Amino acid sequence: MATKHDWTKEEILEIYNKPFMELLYEAATIHREHHDPNTVQVSTLLSIKTGGCPEDCGYCPQAARYHTDLEGNDLMSVNQVKAQALRAKASGSSRVCMGAAWRNVKDGEEFDNVLEMVRTINKLDMEVCCTLGMLTENQAERLAEAGLYAYNHNLDSSEEYYKEVISTRGYQDRLDTIGNVRKTNVTVCSGGIIGMGESEADRAGMLVALSTLNPQPESVPINALVPVEGTPLEEQAPVPIWEMIRMVATTRIVMPETQVRLSAGRTQMSREGQAMCFFAGANSIFAGDKLLTTPNPDVNEDMEMFKMLGLNPQKAFEKKSQPESIDAENSQYQSKGEKPKWSRPGHKIERNLDAQQKTKAKA
C-alpha cells in the first residue's frame, strides 16, 4: 500500500480515538509489515553545549530566562565527545545525537568543532545525529559533507498550539530548517511533545504537519513532557500511559515506514507500559541517565527490559527499506542526471554518501 501523504486532522483523530484494542491491533499489524517487531534502536543523546539558550520554549530548562538551577557548560571538546560516543557504543547504542542549546547555528569556530565531532563519531561506524537549532542550506550541506546521518528539529505541537508554548521562533522557521536538511542526503528526525496542555486535536495537527511532508521524516520522536521546576509548564500533570500508547500507535499508522522514537518521559513509564508502546510501533529509545538535561532510565535497566521482552538492539545503518520514499527521492535526482541518493540491496537501504566514504578513506 502506498504511503498516504494527505492525512486530515479529522482522519487522524478518528484513528487516535479508536477502541484501544482495535487501535493496538491495527498499529501492530502495520508495524510488522514495515519493521522487525523484535528490533529496537538504542540511541544516546549528548548535551554538547548546555544552557543559556535565548529562546522561550515553555518546556525547556535550558532557556536563559528561566530559573531552573541548571548547571550550564560551554561546548564540549572533540575528545570529550569521542569518549562519550565510545562509551555509548560499548553499552549498545548505534546512534549518537548531539544537542547544543543554540537558537540557530552560527558559522565560526564552534560550528567547525561540531563538524569535527561529526567526522569523529562517523569514523566509529555509528549513526550521527545533531540538534543545533535553525540551519541554513549551506550549513546543512556542510554537516552532510562531514557525514551527518540525521538532523533533529522537532515541530513540538500543532501550528495552532505552538504559539502557546513558544514565541521566539515561528512554526515556519522549523519547517524551513527541515526543508534545508531535505536538500542534502541527511535524514530528517522530527516529532513533538505531548502533555503540554494541548488538545487531542493539536496532537492530530502535529501528525498532519509531519505526515504530509514528502517524503515523511525517517524518524519521529514522541516525547512525554517532563515538567521542570522554574519553567512555565512546571505544573503540568504527567501524561497517562494510555495517551502515550495511543500517540505511538497513531503515529505508526499514519507514518508506517518511519522510525518512531519513544523519547522523553520513560522514567514515568512502567516496563509494561513501554512494552505496549513497542507493540504499538515504537522501535527506538534513548539510553543513558539523561536526555540532555532531564532524567532517563539507566542503560542497564533498558538492557534488562530488552532481555525480558526478547528485543534486540538495531545495528547502525540497518533498517528495513522504505521503498516508496526511496524511489520517489531517487527519481528526482535521476531526472536531473544526478546519482541517486539511495541504493537498496536486498531488504536494507544504503545511502550513497560519497563525501562520507571519502572522509573514512582519509582516516
- Nearest CA to 103 out of 139, 172, 54 is that of 54
- Nearest CA to 223 out of 193, 189, 260 is that of 193
Distance of CA 121 to the CA centre of its chain: 18
Helix (H, G, I), strand (E, B) or coil at 3: coil
Cα within 13 Å of Cα(97), Cβ side: 28
Q: Among 95, 142, 252, 261, which one carries the catalytic annotation?
A: 261
Q: Among 57, 119, 130, 252, which one carries the catalytic annotation?
A: 57
Q: Among 95, 119, 129, 182, which one carries the catalytic annotation?
A: 129
Q: Among 53, 119, 246, 277, which one carries the catalytic annotation?
A: 53
Cβ atoms of 309 and 275 closer than 8 Å = yes
Q: Among 182, 189, 203, 266, which one carries the catalytic annotation?
A: 189
Q: Among 60, 130, 142, 174, which one carries the catalytic annotation?
A: 60
Q: Among 95, 97, 119, 169, which one carries the catalytic annotation?
A: 97
Q: Which residues pair with 134 in a beta bridge?
A: 104
Cell numbers given for 189: 528526525
Q: Is 277 a catalytic residue?
A: no
Cα within 13 Å of Cα(241), Cβ side: 14
Q: Is 130 a catalytic residue?
A: no
Distance of CA 14 to the CA centre of its chain: 25
Q: Is 53 a catalytic residue?
A: yes
- Nearest CA to 188 out of 167, 202, 208, 174 is that of 174
69-97: string of b/e by CB count within 10 Å (b at 16+)? ebeeeebbebeebbebbeebbebbbbbbb
Catalytic residues: 53, 57, 60, 97, 129, 189, 261
